[in-house]
Amino acid sequence: MEQKKFEAMLVLIVPKVIGLITENFKMDEVTATKTFYESKVYSLLEQEDTKLWHLSPLTLFNMYDEERKTGNITFPEG
């Protein structure tokens, strides 16, 4: 995927994941954004070759939630 399209995907996906974090963990948007950007899930998401960008925001949120609770990430079968 060309870089501009990939960046556009992130611009669409990341706010939705952050919205799910604020709803489920009662965090304000700034805190939710900071914690998501510091996560392993986000680190992997911003690498185009991992193909995590094709997952739904809910799936990415669930991966983030698992990482937050256990320190591990389970990748969905694909």
Is 43 within a domain? yes
Predicted pLDDT of residue 10: 80
**Is the CB of residue 76 less than 8 Å from the CB of residue 54?**
no
Is 75 within a domain? no
Range(s) of the domain holding residue 30: 3-70
Considering its fold, how many domains does the chain have in total?
1
Query: 62 versus 78: which is more confidently predicted?
Result: 62
Is 26 within a domain? yes
| All residues at 6 or more sequence positions from 53 whose CB lies less than 8 Å from its CB, including other chains | 6, 9, 10, 13, 45
- Quick one: tokens of 40? 């392993």
Task: Dump pLDDT digits (tens) for 6-60.
Answer: 677 788 899 999 999 999 998 999 999 999 999 999 999 999 888 898 999 999 9
Task: Dump pLDDT digits (tens) for 53-70.
Answer: 899 999 999 999 999 999
* Rounded-to-integer distance, Cα 64 and Cα 31, Å: 14
